[in-house]
Structure 1
Amino acid sequence: MNPLPDPSDSRAVLLGVSWYSHLENLPGVANNLPALAEAVCGPFGWGLNDQHCTVVAEPASLDQMLEPVSTAAKDARDTLLVYYAGHGLLNQQQELHLGLPNSRAGRGRTAVPYSWLREAISEGKAKRHVIILDCCFSGRALGAMSGPATLADQAWIDGSFLMAAAPETGIALAPPGEQYTAFTGELLAAMKDGVPGTNSWLALDDLYLHLRSVLASKGRPLPQRRARNRAGELVWGRNASYQPSFTRSARPLEGTADWPNPDRFLDVAEFIHALALVRAISGLTQRELSARSSTPLSEGSISRLLNRADLPHRWTTTETYLTACGLHQAHIVRWRAAWERLKAAPSRHQVTKSPTPSPSFASAKPHRSRLRAMVRRAQFRSKNVQ
């Protein structure tokens, strides 16, 4: 799974109701929407095009709330984010409803059933769904409530990541005098200031644990979350507080004979073997490469790349890896040409496991010896430099 959403194939819909005719107003919600849109579209978020992030403020009807979600769901192929802030209401059957400006406490028919929002989300073909619900059940909204089901239980969608701002409590989400609602305010702060002690990229699970800790320290409602199919590994954005634990950089070997020459790769085995040589020549560990990568690349992904038995199916991971190792773009272009050349030869994609070398392996032996010699020379020079 690629943990970073593709901005061109991902969509976001941000819904919010701050003013009510019959319920307590939530002025912080009006501030949540533009701030969150800017964060999601910014360089520390998903980097979405403004046209791919739809903000729906004060939807007055069911159609005004659901139609933008339905449209975004049909357009998204990678990841769909749906956010709602406002009053959460329950009907007589204790089913979750999302408040509209004219909603009334205890009257589910005046609000939007969450099940209908879930249906609109499910209409599309996005591989992943991220649902964030910043709503609670205040005493003024609906009074006492009972029943074993929690907010997350009612809002669950298979294959998605759901984060709910609060359990079934009567605590208000919008403390008087604060710019944002309590939950979204901490969410925005985490995107702006980062989360100490985590990686260079902030995964949804990391974000959830941070928000739960911060909100608990302030005595505020604790968020809940549900995730399936590794959705918690999905990247929410760059971690602004990340500080690399090393100062070394990849050795600037571009233009020398030290890097393996991709023009000479005879088969997939040489391609994979040369990827490992690049890391060895760079002098960087897998952990350091992961931290240097311009897009998320975990140590596990690097290990799988270097130990696979076939050609990488997608070029993006290989390109990120080579860039982190220190190769310049001109050299990476030659690597891609080699990848495309080998990809066009299906019969030679699989690494041979037989103890008897094939003709291509036999002819490659002198070249592999040269590659190993290159590594030894590079390591010797590296030791002398140190």
Structure 2
Amino acid sequence: MSVLPDPGASRAVLIGTSRYRHLEQLPAVSNNLQALAGLLTGPVSLQLPAQHVSVVEDPAAGQSVVGAVRQAAAEATDTLIVYFAGHGSVDADALSLALPGTEYGRIETSLPYDWLRQVLLLDSRAERHVVILDCCYSGLALGRMSASPGLADQAAVEGSFLLAAAAETRTALAPVGDTYTAFTGALLDTLHHGIPGGPALLDLAALYQHLRRTLEARGHPVPQARDRNSGSKVALGRNHASLPAPPAVLSPGTVSGERPWPDPGAVRTITGFFTALADVRVISGLTHRAVGERSAGRISAGTVSRLLNRTTLPRTWGTTAAYLAACGVPDAQITQWQALWEHLRAQPATAEADEARPAPPASAGSGRARVWPRSLPVFRRKRG
């Protein structure tokens, strides 16, 4: 079953090189980073807290990249997303990621992809890994997803998914005049607008198939992918092309048709609790006022707004139960929500952003994050 990561227990590291001293410039990469960071922290996608997304642009050395990934790998317990955009090269039959000072033929000036892979295998606490590579020859990484026997014994990863912009022998593309590179632009567009007729959650399997069809139809390089265990079921957002319509009848306790309600069993943190709770209203198709009207006077539109904008758990369960019932959530799922609320309430009062808690039983530059002003860059047609 597809699952949205808990934003409180997940991390993302977005890496990109747009300025080079010896290679062609790739100004579109800077736009990629800014847009993807905004999307991952916004309501369209995972709604990660801003401090959970690290953006490493034009890193001076591989050490800063590996350090940022290692820190995120130590903090994430649900899902870790690692993205790279820039030039890619083939060194000793393996993929290397180009840094600002990279020179062709000088392997010591690049970042071997295997360095990042080892961090994910050995240093990560996350159950799921998502690696997205928007660079030339990125398909080379597909053959290096599995660990050697020694590494596999030390790695405990439930699911991994690697999405590559191009095959191992193909260059990636940055069309002239486009704001983003071809692959990342298609990814951003799909997450923003959804897939008509697609699944309720945009999991990586659905995204990959849609991107293949879209980019192939445009005559662009065709992406490649490989998953391990349940990696393909990780979702990067809801399908905004297939959200259910508002219910036709606004009587309390009824919602027309089945709806893809958020799964409380996938929530581990207080941040995740309120993110999923807000998703309930989105899936219901109701406004704050309509939720109040359907509650038979138990809650008002203002109460709904205050509930969804909290950062600490309510001390009593009644308001949340009334909200879920008014949205149309089935009684059995409301019971699971209450078990989750009780579980989180019982946890020690530690910093939510730093401490991810296990879910209850189902039955119950520098590596610093930055935001850049959007520019109007000049693009190269291909990159290597």
TM-score with structure 1 setting the length: 0.65
> Could you list the per-position Cα deviations for residues 293-331 of structure 1 after superposition, in whole angstroms to 9, with x for gaps in the alignment?
2x2599xx9xxxxxxxxxxxxx99x99999989995648
User: For residue 142 of structure 2, what is the amino acid of its counterpart?
Assistant: A
Compared CA separation, residues 70 and 217, structure 1 to 2 (3 A): same
Ranked by relative contact order (alpha carbons within 8 Å, sequence separation 6 or more), the top structure is 2
1:312-327 matches, within 5 Å, as: none
The one-letter code matched in structure 2 to 1:113 is P
> How many angstroms does 1:59 deviate by?
0.4
Which whole-Å deviations, capped at 9, do the CAs of 1:128-183 have from their partners, x for residues lacking one?
00100001049xxxxxxxxxx84421355663111000003443421222111110
Per-residue CA shift, 1:85-130, capped at 9, x if unaligned?
A: 0111111x21111111111223322111111111122302100001
The alignment partner of 2:259 has SS state of helix
Alignment of 1:154 onto 2:153: no
Aligned to 1:200: 200
Measured after TM superposition, the shift of residue 289 of structure 1 is 3.0
Match of 1:223 in 2: 223
**Is the CA contact 1:89–1:106 (under 8 Å) kept in the aligned structure 2?**
no
Q: Which residue of 1 aligns with 2:115?
A: 116
Q: Quickly say closer, same or farther: Cα 1:75–1:240, change in 2 above 3 A.
A: same
- The change in CA–CA distance for 1:331 and 1:186 in structure 2 (over 3 A counts) is closer
Structure 2 match to 1:132: 132
Are positions 1:289 and 2:259 aligned together? yes
RMSD, aligned CA: 3.8
Larger helix share, 1 or 2: 1
Pick the structure with greater CA Rg. Answer: 1
Q: Which amino acid is the alignment partner of residue 321 of structure 2?
A: I
8 A Cα contact 1:72 1:80, kept in partner: yes
Structure 2 CA distance for partners of 1:9 and 1:336, relative to 1, 3 Å? closer
- Cα pair distance change 1:59/1:252, threshold 3 Å: same
Structure 1 partner of 2:321: 332
TM-score with structure 2 setting the length: 0.65
Structure 1 residue 247 displacement after superposition? 4.6
3-state DSSP class of the match of 1:228? strand
Task: Using the TM superposition, give the Cα deviation of residue 208 of structure 1 relative to its aligned residue in structure 2, in angstroms.
Answer: 0.9
- CA shift, 1:199, in A, is 2.7
Distance in 2 (CA, whole Å) between partners of 1:183 and 1:2 is 23
Aligned length: 287
**Structure 2: stretches of 5+ with no match in the other structure:** 148-156, 267-272, 285-290, 296-317, 323-333, 344-360, 364-384
Q: Distance in 1 between matches of 2:248 and 2:86?
A: 48
| Secondary structure in 1 matching 2:213 | helix
Q: Percent identity?
A: 40
Partner of residue 145, structure 1: none
**Secondary structure at 1:59 match in 2:** coil
AA in 2 matched with 1:8: G
1:1-386 equivalences in 2 (<5 Å): 3-91=3-91, 93-122=92-121, 123-137=123-137, 150-156=140-146, 159-244=159-244, 247-248=247-248, 251-253=251-253, 282=254, 288-290=258-260, 293=261, 295=262, 330=319, 332=321, 335=335
Q: Deviations over 1:220-249 (max 9, x none)?
A: 111011112222111111222125378545
Give the match's secondary structure for 2:29: helix
